[in-house]
Amino acid sequence: MKKIAFFDSKPYDKESFDRVNNGRYEIKYFETRLSSAALPLLEGCDAVCAFVNAEIDRAVIEGITQRGIKVLAMRCAGYNNVDFAAAYELGLTVVRVPAYSPYAVAEHAMALLMTLNRRLHKAAMRTRDYNFSLVGLTGVDLHGKTAGVIGTGKIGRVFCDICKGLGMRVLAYDAYPNPESGLEFVSFERLLEESDVISLHCPLTPATHHIINRETISKMKDGVLFINTSRGGLVDSDAMLEALREGKLGGAGLDVYEEESEWFYEDRSSITKQNKTLSLLVSMPNVIVTSHQAFLTHEALENIATTTLENLDAYFSGLPLVNEICYRCMGAGAPQGNVAMCPNRVNGRCK
C-alpha cells in the first residue's frame, strides 16, 4: 500500500480524505506545514500532499526527491508557492486540484461584499451589546451598480452570474477572454474607472503580482468596494491600506493576504508581535478579513479529496495526468497553467 505524507492537516481534511480514501492509501497526517524542517517526516512515503500555504522551494523539493518521492499532490488550485523550475530539473511531478467548488469561493466573495456594504458585521456586534441604533449602518443598493470582475475562470464566471442575479452590470477583464462566455470584456483601465465594486478572481503569476497598487487604485472610482478571494500577492497591501485610510477605497473584503502563510489557519491570538499591516487592516471598521476560508464547504472538501486521490491513482497507474502542472505549462505556450496546451506533453504527461 502506497503511503502519503499529508501536511498541514486539519480535522475537516482528515474527515473528508478518510471517507474518500476508503483504505486504498495509508495517509500519514501531520499538522505541521511542509517545510525543510519537516522533511524527516517523509521517510518511507511514496507521495507528498501539501496545501496552499506551504513554501515549496528548491530546498524542500531537493529533500522530497532525495527520499525517492517523485510526486507532489497539491490539494488546492493555486501553485504560486511551488518552485516549478526546481521541480522540473529534479524530476518531481506536481499535480493539483484546479476546480473544487467555484460556487463556494464565489458565494463567499458575495457574502463579503454584502456584509461590507450593509455593515452587517458592525450591526451584529452592536446588537450583542443591546445597541439597536442604525446610525452609521447605511449601505447602497447593489442593483444597478457596476461590478468589475478581474479573472473569468470558473470562479469568476460564477461570481458574474451572482452579480447579474442581483441586477448589477458586469464588466470583465481577463488576459485570455473567452468570447463565448457572454460577458462584456473591457480593458483593465476601463474596468477600474467604471466599477463600483471590484472583485479579484485571477491566479497569482509574475504578471499579476501587485496588479492592485497605488497607480491602479488611483484610477478607481472614489469609494469603490474591493473584494479579494484569490491570492494576497495580487495586492500591494500597504497601498490598499493607504487608500482605505484616505477614503479612496470605500471598504475591503479580504479572504487572503500577501503574507498570510505565517498567520492564517491557526490561532494567533496570543502572539504579541503581530504583522503591522494586517493588524491595521483588521482594526478598520470598513475592512472584513476572513482567514482564507472561501473554499470551506462540505462539497468543496469532498471534491478536493476526490480529485487529489484520483490524481495519485493516475500517477501510480501510469495514466495521463489531466491536472499536472510543469515548468513549461507556466510559460507562454500554455497560459495560466493550462496543461492541455503544454508543449511538453507526451502520452498525457509533461516530460
- Rounded to the nearest 10 degrees, the angle between the axes of helix 276-283 and helix 237-246 is 30
Residue of 81, 83, 48, 85 whose CA lies nearest to 66: 48
First to last CA, the chain: 26
Q: What are the catalytic residues?
A: 231, 260, 292
Quickly count: other Cβ atoms within 10 Å of residue 98's Cβ. Answer: 18
What is 185-253 written as a DSSP string? Answer: B--HHHHHHH-SEEEE-----TTTTT-BSHHHHHTSPTTEEEEE-S-GGGB-HHHHHHHHHHTSEEEEE
Residue of 200, 290, 288, 212 whose CA lies nearest to 250: 288
Q: How many CA atoms lie within 13 A of 277 on its CB side?
A: 15
Backbone conformation region of residue 64, classed left if phi is above 0, alpha if psi is from -120 to 50, else beta: alpha
CA angle (105, 108, 112) in 5-degree steps: 140
Copy the grid coordinates of residue 316.
501510480
Judged by DSSP in three states, 172 sits in strand
Asked if 249 contacts 228 with a C-beta cutoff of 8 angstroms, the reply is: no
* Amino acid of residue 165: G
DSSP state of 82: B
Kindly report the length of the chain. 351
